[in-house]
Amino acid sequence: MTDLLVHFILFIIAGAVLVAAPMLIGRLVRPNLPTPEKDAVYECGEPTIGSSYVQFDIRFYVVALLFIIFDVEVVFFFPWATVFGGVTQLADTRLTEAARTNLSDKLLNLEPGTTTAETAIAASDALRIAWTGFADILVFFGVLLVGFAYVWRRGDLDWVRAMVNQAKIARAQGRKNSQNEPRVDSQLAS
């Protein structure tokens, strides 16, 4: 306990000192010669134009969200692809024994030379894993695609969704008006 506590306190002290010391040294050593260029906000060397506190269009968030969804999906795909690639190679019945043990080691993440002929993954087993994996990813990707199609259909991917909607409404109203027009005329006539 005391051991842990001392470590903890030492850690905090060391952390605080290591941050404070360079700032203090800088403060004592640096000359104070302010110029407008030095006071300016650093933006990768570009001259600044206006304040950075601007409102972002909400549509950026939609794009960012969609990006994250597909990004995360790719993260899921990587481990799947490694295993799937490995087992499709192993599913080949024409593999030599050496190649099979070698690939099995790689797939099971073992030291090279650990698997023997008995413990190596057989072609039929590899095929089963491959088909199961294929079915898994099909369900996963299928559900994701349904969501994607839904978003697309609802018009959330249109950059100017509001205007698309307005255009649709205007078109629908235009059609309705053209149907209504004769009746309006007749009413007016009567």
Partner 1 sequence: MSVHSILNHVLGEDLPRSLEVFAPELVLCATVVLLLLWRMLDLHQRIPTCWVALFGSLVAFFGVFAQFMYLKTGGAGVGGLEFLFDQWRLTPSGVGEIGPYFTGLLVHDQFAVFFRLVLTLFLVLVTALTILTGIPDAEDGQDFYTLLIGSTVGMLMAVGANHLLMLFLSIEMMSVPSYVMVAFQKGRKQAGEASLKYVVYGAGIAGVMLYGISLIAGLLGTANMPELGERFAILMQGEFFSMSNTTALTLVLGMMMVLVGLAFKLSLVPFHFWCPDAFEGASAEVCGFLSVASKAAALALLVRFVLAFQGTHESLAQLGILFGIALGTISIITMTFGNLAAYSQTNLKRLLAYSTIAHAGYMVMAVSAMLVILNSPSSSVGVGQAATCIEGLMYYVAVYLFMNLSAFAIVALLRNETFREDISSYRGIISGSAATKVLCVCLAISFFSLVGMPPFGGFFAKMMIFYSALQAGHAHWFLWIVLGFGALNTVFSLFYYLNVLKAAFISEPEADAAPVEVPGMAGAYVLLVTIPILALGMSSLQGDLTATAKYVAASLFQ
Residue 64 sits in the site that holds partner 1 (CB under 8 A): no
Question: What are the respective helix, strand and coil percentages of the chain, to the nearest 5?
Answer: 70, 0, 30
Q: What is the DSSP string of 41-89?
A: PPSTTSPP-S-S--PPPTHHHHHHHHHHHHHHHHHHHHHHHHHHHHHHH
Q: Write down the residue that tokens 């950026």 correspond to.
A: 60
Q: Site for partner 1 (CB under 8 A): which residue of 25, 72, 108, 138? A: 108
- Cα 64 from Cα 70, distance rounded (Å): 10
Q: Near partner 1 by CB under 8 A, which window of 47-55, 117-125, 156-164, 175-183?
A: 117-125
Residues of 137-146 as b/e, b for ≥16 C-beta within 10 angstroms? eeeeeeeeee
For partner 1, give the closer residue by CB, 61 or 150: 150
Instruction: For the CB of residue 119, give the shortest distance to partner 1 in the complex, in Å.
Output: 6
Instruction: For the CB of residue 4, give the shortest distance to partner 1 in the complex, in Å.
Output: 6
Q: Near partner 1 by CB under 8 A, which window of 24-32, 91-99, 143-151, 176-184?
A: 143-151
Q: Site for partner 1 (CB under 8 A): which residue of 149, 163, 164, 167? A: 149
Residue 6 sits in the site that holds partner 1 (CB under 8 A): no
Helix or strand (DSSP H, E) at 165: helix 161-189
Residue 130 sits in the site that holds partner 1 (CB under 8 A): no
Instruction: For the CB of residue 34, give the shortest distance to partner 1 in the complex, in Å.
Output: 38
Residue 119 sits in the site that holds partner 1 (CB under 8 A): yes
Neighbours of 90 (CB within 10 A): 24
The footprint of partner 1 (CB under 8 A) covers 1-4, 104, 108, 118-119, 121-122, 125, 128-129, 132, 143, 146-147, 149-150, 153-154
